[in-house]
Chains A and B, each alone.
Chain A
């Protein structure tokens, strides 16, 4: 068998009332969620929120205590052969087999996934993830970032239609992180649906079409990234560097505006572009602006706020 099964349902993933308990402890509480075909979905949450546990349930590494999970319309428990063939997983924990080289690892994983091993495809994957130079090295001699890239390559050997990336950029340097995200975008363009977790929230903000926030096993919110950024948006801040120091604030600036650095910098909140324009005009009447920085609300700010709200409840 080389071809992957034809989806029974276009929906890549459906979670229906999923609960996962470990003894008395409940790691995932009643999660219901539908993933759209071809989207990049970021699952965010603090340490121990239940992200990995949820992913493990989908991949068959764990079994939910209650509820049902389906991948492209196949049930992950009763039709695991179909679901596992359709999904790929980059696990959070580095794991590597010291016996095999990167090329061998990819060939073996292809076979295990039920795909006839194809050496050229393995080489192409190594090339994509900048591992060609280490094709025949001992895996234990790879650096941490290389091992993680090998894990991503391994997750792609069977060309999955649904890909889980559980903190794929932990320990990967800036440049390769950018490459990795470019690769993720390319996969999405080819029709792969992607679910990722990361603690680098700027990555999620940049990449994700939708964002889900999970806290203590409960899904707090699922929203389109743009809608979330808009609805939760707080006043931004404009930082104006002035040519000469000011003694006092110009008249008519929004409340909260203040002078810093001995009057050389003016910091003013803004909530819409017109307000920012008015501020700039006022300041320019009394001083020359030599630099301007505008800060918008970041996903990180929204995330911190959401978690704080959830803690209070």
Chain B
């Protein structure tokens, strides 16, 4: 018996419906948050800061803010949905269905990516209103947006499977995502950092994500775009394999 495509489609739609019915919380609130970032860092402070690599500061922060919202939304969508259904027992409906790990992972990741693209797209539109339209290399921009949202959706699945209580789940955004994104060159160029921090920053995967998208949108980047893409694709492959295996063996979700 082959893949359960009806099941995959149903699970995907179910996850989409979950975030779209509470769109005020899932779509509107991140939009407001990032608009505030634009106002504070871009408009208020940006006028006092000089340009970076010839780009006005308010434009410089746009790719980072888009990435920040995509990362958070992709992660939160899979993590909160899966964790909630694990705790309230509704995951059973999925676990007793004839769905293989491939279908389950694709459905969850697909829905999370959709949310990330909706929010990221809206943030981009807000940015266009503030800074005008910039899209230097659309192909690269799309590639980075896809790789990043998929990676963090996968990470969300792993976090939800691993977590036993709500506290566990918040460890990842609080102690991993926030520091990595703030230190990942969203608000500054790593060339502005003194040694050894410019080198240390290169170990942070978020740096490659932000700079990849910055290259796609603005045409400039702190790091080589090919190198960024390769790093990200490798990260995505590792996360995909790990998540598939965890779902396949039912780690922490089947006894």
B174 interface residue per 8 A CB criterion: no
A82 interface residue per 8 A CB criterion: yes
Within the complex, what minimum Cβ distance (angstroms) separates B100 from chain A? 7
Choose one: B1, B96, B254; the contact of A63 (CB below 8 Å).
B254
CB-based nearest A residue for B1: A81
- Residue contact B1 to A99, C-beta cutoff 8 Å: no
With A61-B254, A62-B255, A63-B250 known to touch, is A1 a contact of B96 (CB < 8 Å)? no
Choose one: B11, B17, B96; the contact of A89 (CB below 8 Å).
B96
A55-112 interface with B by 8 A CB criterion: 56, 59-63, 79-82, 84-85, 89, 91, 93-97, 99, 108-112
A116 interface residue per 8 A CB criterion: yes
Within the complex, what minimum Cβ distance (angstroms) separates A58 from chain B? 10
B28 interface residue per 8 A CB criterion: no
With A113-B97, A113-B98 known to touch, is A91 a contact of B92 (CB < 8 Å)? yes
A168-221 interface with B by 8 A CB criterion: none
A117 interface residue per 8 A CB criterion: yes
CB-based nearest B residue for A98: B88
Residues in chain A near residue B93, CB distance under 8 A: 95, 97, 108-109, 112, 154
Choose one: B6, B95, B100; the contact of A1 (CB below 8 Å).
B6
- Residue contact A93 to B89, C-beta cutoff 8 Å: yes
B99 interface residue per 8 A CB criterion: yes
Count of residues in B whose CB is under 8 Å from the partner chain? 30
Choose one: A5, A22, A82, A99; the contact of B21 (CB below 8 Å).
A99
CB-based nearest B residue for A5: B1
Residues in chain A near residue B202, CB distance under 8 A: none
B180-219 interface with A by 8 A CB criterion: none
A-B contact count (CB 8 A): 86
Chain B 1-29, CB-CB to A under 8 Å as 1, else 0, gives 11011110111011001100100000000
Complex Cα–Cα for A89 and B94 (A):
12
Chain B 78-96, CB-CB to A under 8 Å as 1, else 0, gives 0000000100111011111
- Residue contact A95 to B89, C-beta cutoff 8 Å: yes
With A95-B90, A108-B14 known to touch, is A114 a contact of B4 (CB < 8 Å)? yes
Residues in chain B near residue A116, CB distance under 8 A: 6
Residues in chain A near residue B6, CB distance under 8 A: 1, 111, 114-116
B133-192 interface with A by 8 A CB criterion: none
- Residue contact B254 to A62, C-beta cutoff 8 Å: yes
- Residue contact A114 to B7, C-beta cutoff 8 Å: yes
- Residue contact A1 to B4, C-beta cutoff 8 Å: yes
CB-based nearest B residue for A155: B96
Residues in chain A near residue B17, CB distance under 8 A: 99
- Residue contact A97 to B90, C-beta cutoff 8 Å: yes
Residues in chain B near residue A115, CB distance under 8 A: 6
- Residue contact A114 to B97, C-beta cutoff 8 Å: yes
Residues in chain A near residue B10, CB distance under 8 A: 108, 110-112, 117
A27-75 interface with B by 8 A CB criterion: 53, 56, 59-63
Residues in chain A near residue B14, CB distance under 8 A: 108
Residues in chain B near residue A81, CB distance under 8 A: 1, 4, 98, 100
Complex Cα–Cα for A52 and B93 (A):
16
Residues in chain A near residue B11, CB distance under 8 A: 111-112
Choose one: B13, B88, B98, B255; the contact of A114 (CB below 8 Å).
B98
Within the complex, what minimum Cβ distance (angstroms) separates B221 from chain A? 41
Residues in chain B near residue A89, CB distance under 8 A: 96
- Residue contact B7 to A95, C-beta cutoff 8 Å: no
Complex Cα–Cα for A61 and B98 (A):
12
Choose one: A95, A112, A154; the contact of B88 (CB below 8 Å).
A95
With A81-B1, A111-B7, A116-B6 known to touch, is A60 a contact of B90 (CB < 8 Å)? no
Please, could you name 5 A-B residue pairs with CB atoms under 8 Å apart, sorted by A?
A85-B98, A97-B90, A99-B21, A110-B10, A154-B93
Extra contacts, 15 of them, besides A53-B255, A80-B98, A81-B98 (Cβ < 8 A), are A5-B1, A20-B255, A61-B255, A62-B254, A62-B255, A91-B92, A94-B89, A96-B90, A109-B97, A111-B13, A113-B7, A114-B7, A114-B97, A115-B6, A117-B10
Which residue numbers of B lie inside 8 Å of A, CB to CB? 1-2, 4-7, 9-11, 13-14, 17-18, 21, 85, 88-90, 92-100, 250, 254-255
